[in-house]
Amino acid sequence: MKKIIGVLLIALVVLASVPLSQAQQTGKVYRIGIYRSGDPSPPSRNYRAFLKELRDIGYIEGQNLKIVWWYKTHTFKKKKDRLDHVAHRMKELVQQKVDVIFTVNPVDIRAAKKATKTIPIVMLSSIDPVAAGLVDSLAHPGGNITGTSTSRAL
C-alpha cells in the first residue's frame, strides 16, 4: 500500500513541475487519469492520502484538479479480447485530455505507452520494466513513463 501511495506521489511531482502560481492564474483544472482493473470504487485509504498530499501542494479536487477514474471491469476468456479492450479504454482515457496517467498492470502500462507519447505515465509495476520493453533503463527511462517497479531496485 505504501508503494501505491509512493507512486501516486510521483504523479504529484509531475503536477508540481507546473508552477502552482501559473496554474492558479490560468484557472486550469489539472486532470489525473487513473486506469485500473476491477471494482470501480477508489481505494479509500490510499485515495484519501493521495488527495491530502495534493491539497498540501495546492491541488484541490473540484477546484483546480479532477481525478478521472477509468476501469476494466470485464473478464475475458481470450487474451486478445482483453488486450483489445484495454487498448480501446486507454485511447478513451487519452481522449479525456488528462495531464498524467497512473496505472499498475503491465498490460495496461503497455496500452498507455501505445496510446500516447506525450502524456506522462506513472506506473507501479511488479515486472522488470526494462526487460518488458516499457522503459529504456531504470536510470534513464526515456519516453513518457516513470514510476516504480517492485522487481528491481530503482
The enclosing domain of 48 has a CATH number of 3.40.50.2300
- At 22-80, the pLDDT tens digits run 444 468 999 999 888 766 676 667 777 888 888 999 999 999 999 988 877 667 778 77
Residue-averaged pLDDT of the chain: 79
Domain presence at residue 124: yes
Give me the percent of the chain exceeding a pLDDT of 70.
75
Helix H or strand E segment including 35: strand 30-37
- Residue 48 domain-assigned (yes or no): yes
Residue 54 domain-assigned (yes or no): yes
Please check whether residue 15 lies inside any domain of the structure.
yes
Count of the separate structural domains present in the chain? 1
Q: Is 154 part of a structural domain of the chain?
A: no
What is the domain extent for residue 137? 2-149
pLDDT score of 3: 56
Question: Is the confidence at residue 138, as pLDDT, over 80?
Answer: yes
pLDDT tops 50 at residue 20: no
